[in-house]
Structure 1
Amino acid sequence: MGLRVWSCWLGISTAVLYGSLSLFISILHNVFLLYYVETFVSVYKIDKVSFWVGETVFLIWNSLNDPLFGWLSDHSFLSSPQSGQQIASPEVVVRRLRSVARHGPLFALSFLAFWVAWARPGLQFLVCLCLYDGFLTAVDLSHSALLADLAVSAADRTQLNFYCSLFSAVGSLSVFLSYSFWDKDDLSSFRLFCVALAALSALGFAVASRLLRRKFQGEARPRLDEDEQLRELCVGQAPLVQEKAVTLGEYLSQLSKHKNFMWFVSMNLVQVFHCHFNSNFFPLFLEHLLSDRISPSTGSFLLGISYIAPHVNNLYFLTLCKRFGVYEVVRWLFILKLALSGTMLLAGADQIYLLCFFIASNRVFTEGTCKLLNLVVTDLVDEDFVLNRRQQAASALLFGMVALVTKPGQTFAPLVGTWLLCVYTGYDIFERDVGHEAVQAAVSSREQAVTLRQGCFYLLVFVPVTCALLQLLTWSRFTLHGKHLQHIKALRQGAQHCRPTDVKAI
């Protein structure tokens, strides 16, 4: 009976198993993004200096751990066959799956450290953020790299991303459920809810990665045997093989000359900032722009739909990507973001139904864009492989270098947001005790309430307008699409099938 059940599990497709890993990441990470700032500010009463110091240290760690883990994972792939043993693609995939199985449960445990006060708020804030992001990076980097390692063609990668979006949508249900358990005056129910999520996530990582590894090894062995036979027929040096190992300095020099990489990370830095700005300040916008105009159930619905809809909507975006290409879909999403923001600005803050739609859609389209960008990074992996004549695509390392430049946007979002709110309205979310009562009394006055509401509205509208303009400018300089992209993929696929310059006559 046990063997029959195991055989049924092994019958699940590789794309489904790969996509399921997104479920176990999203059920925790969405809750983290929504509640970690409010927990430390409103529940643990962290002071402003400790908050800024923690976010600054987190900025440094958050930026450096991705390329660090990527280099540790992939630096051996940058060696040529003369300077080291060549590593077959199936072995690369198995390595990444072992990393997911090892770090996934630790990621789930680090998530739990946020919701119980076990140290001074400033110290706990710093330690929790760095631990959580370290394990999240280890898992997410391996998972993202697998997208480039499991498939090369755009159609296959789109299918893998399709299941990621599908399972991420299911994982976003944790946001709906969390709203029922969240009570900042009593976190006991919320803590039990988080323990259940963490247990489900840890078990899911262990089971899914093991099944995927067993399934991939079974599927890859015939291809590996075929590759060995082809290598025996090969004579001469491959045109895409380097003559020596690549040092970190040389790799960074190569990357700095990769123009499409530079334009992409410039655009993506703004995208990461906007995504986390929406996540961090969504409850604030609901409270000060809509709380007295809509019912609590409507607010809960807007909150939940803003987390689920991006993944569901992404299923449609991916079908558009198959038809028009990722570049065009992303460009039109930037134009749509600019158009919606301009319309909302002209309509004003008193159009409640339009405001509800804009608050939700702003997050939906922004998050939807983020989900598509991994496909662009995999294309950059292909271009890096061809331009620098790699023996094996260093996918995790390239994902890590993208994160090195773009992850600071995650830290800038709450810092810039709280600063702009204070500048526009004079409202400081860190004021408390006697001063806090005075601020609350001032805010409760009609004049101050109007100022705060208007400031939140301008913050809500002008941030996406600015982001969209910057992104359209940088994205117009990106050239890895159309015929150029097709040429790059053809070169990579040809290089992986057979590297030699000649083949023995049979």
Structure 2
Amino acid sequence: MNRYAVPTKIREMEIHKNALAYAATTLASSAMNSVFFFYYVKLFLDTYKVSPAWFQFAQVVYMIWNAINDPLFGYIQDNSSWAMCRSRKKAIYYGAPLWALFFLLPWFQWADYNNGANTWLAGIHLIVTLCAYDSMLTFVLLAQCALFAEISTKPEDRLRLVKYQQIASVIGSSSVFLSSLVSNNMKNFINLQIYCVGVAVLAFVCMRYSSINVNTKYEMETYGSSDNESLADTKSQMSAGSACQITKQILFNRNFISFVLMNFFQ
């Protein structure tokens, strides 16, 4: 027996396990995004009776925030001293429960929206839902994109990651088809609510699995004992005031403003 055969097989198993763990986040994002973006317009306009003026205002706010948060979160993850931002795996680990929670925001009313006096509250509900959901979508998927480069530099390994990711995306997108069957095209709204809770739980589990089981080529550097201590020390020194100061510097940076404007008009 070839003495190199066993190590090669072990490495192949590790690569497939790594690709599976990486694709778990794609499965989660695809499942939530398919349902969220398919239903939210109909949900708020037809079910919650959001006025056209509030809906248009919410779309403008969402459009502006969407243009800002991509470069903002990208800069924070690359330059922040916080461990949960600097470590891509920790960004997914801590972002998972928030993203799953924000996915549930649109499916539960904050008041009786059939009462005309609560139209403004339905509009606020829409704005908070869009901005909160998009924030965590950006935060987690930026970390996942960065993980892609950190897992391996070999073309064959990256090709395998892409294959697993595409399969996970197709499987995840079937969630919207299943939601239509379960809720009878939103006619049974309680069933849709229960289904969305199930999707959120599944997405949370998938992202947690991904963040725990993905291994990168920088694993020892990121999770070595000495680095953990230094990250903990840095995190303790990072106050809320300094975080606000850094955010302010980013927002008023000329290059950042130029990028946001270009992203906005695209």
TM-score, structure 1 normalization: 0.39
Aligned residue number for residue 149 of structure 1: 150
Of 20, 24, 27, which aligns to 1:23? 27
Distance 1:252 1:148, change over 3 A: farther
- Identity rate, percent: 31
Q: Deviations over 1:211-250 (max 9, x none)?
A: 11xx437x8549xx9xxxxxxxxxxxxxxxxxxxxx9688
Instruction: State whether residues 99 and 142 of structure 1, in contact with CA within 8 Å, keep that contact through their aligned partners in structure 2.
Output: yes
Residues 1:139 and 1:110: Cα distance change in structure 2 (over 3 Å): same
Paired with 1:186 and 1:139, the residues of 2 have a C-alpha distance of 31
In the alignment, which residue of structure 2 is the partner of 1:138?
139
Three-state SS of the structure 1 residue aligned to 2:216 is helix
Structure 1 residues 314-325: aligned runs within 5 Å:
none
Identify the residue that residue 45 of structure 2 maps to in structure 1. Answer: 41
TM superposition shift of 1:92: 11
The residue number in structure 1 matching 2:238 is none
Q: 1:69 aligns with which of 73, 83, 95?
A: 73
2:103 to 81, 102, 111: 111
**What amino acid maps onto 1:59 in structure 2?**
M
What is the Cα-based RMSD across aligned positions, in Å?
A: 3.4
For residue 255 of structure 2, what is the aligned residue in structure 1? 252
Distance, in Å, in 2 between the alignment partners of 1:174 and 1:404 is 34
Q: 2:76, 2:85 within 8 Å by CA — same for their partners in 1?
A: no
TM-superposed deviation, 1:57: 0.7
- Please list, as runs of the form range in 1=range in 2, the aligned pairs for 1:398-409 lying within 5 A after superposition: 405-406=262-263
Provide the C-alpha distance between the structure 2 equivalents of 1:50 and 1:166, rounded to a whole number of angstroms.
38
Local SS of the residue matching 1:216: coil
Structure 1 residues 16 and 406, CA gap change in structure 2 (3 angstroms): farther
Q: Give the whole-Å Cα distance in 2 for the aligned partners of 1:156 and 1:201.
A: 25
Q: Deviations over 1:106-143 (max 9, x none)?
A: 10110111011114221111111111111111111111
Match of 2:207 in 1: 205
- Once the two structures are TM-superposed, the CA of residue 185 in structure 1 deviates from its matched residue by 4.1
- Closer/same/farther in 2, CA of residues 209 and 251 from structure 1, 3 Å limit: farther
- Counterpart secondary structure, 1:13: helix
Change (3 A) 1:76 1:33: closer
CA shift, 1:150, in A, is 2.8
**Partners of 2:171 and 2:14 in 1: how far apart?**
22
Report the CA distance shift for 1:107/1:93 in structure 2 as closer, same or farther (over 3 A). Answer: closer
Counterpart of 1:188 (choices 183, 187, 190) is 190
Q: What pairs up with 1:389-468 in 2 under 5 angstroms?
A: 405-406=262-263
Residue 12 of structure 1: how far off its partner (Å):
5.1
Q: Which has the larger radius of gyration?
A: 1
The aligned residue for residue 6 of structure 2 is: none
Find the aligned partners of 1:157 and 1:211 in 2 and give their Cα distance: 17
Report the TM-score when normalising by structure 2. Answer: 0.70
Query: What count of residue pairs does the alignment treat as equivalent?
Result: 217
Deviation at 1:25, TM superposition (A): 0.8
- Where relative contact order (Cα < 8 A, 6+ residues apart) is larger, the structure is 2
C-alpha contact (below 8 Å) 2:152/2:158 kept by paired residues: yes
Asked if 2 retains the 8 angstrom alpha-carbon contact of 1:93 and 1:146, the reply is no
3-state SS, counterpart of residue 110 of structure 2: coil
Q: What's 2:167 paired with?
A: 166
Looking at structure 2, the residues matched to 408 and 129 of structure 1 have their Cα atoms a distance apart, in angstroms, of: 19
Asked whether the equivalents of residues 104 and 200 of structure 2 are also in contact (C-alpha less than 8 Å), the reply is yes
Structure 1 70/93 Cα, relative in aligned 2: closer, same or farther at 3 Å?
closer
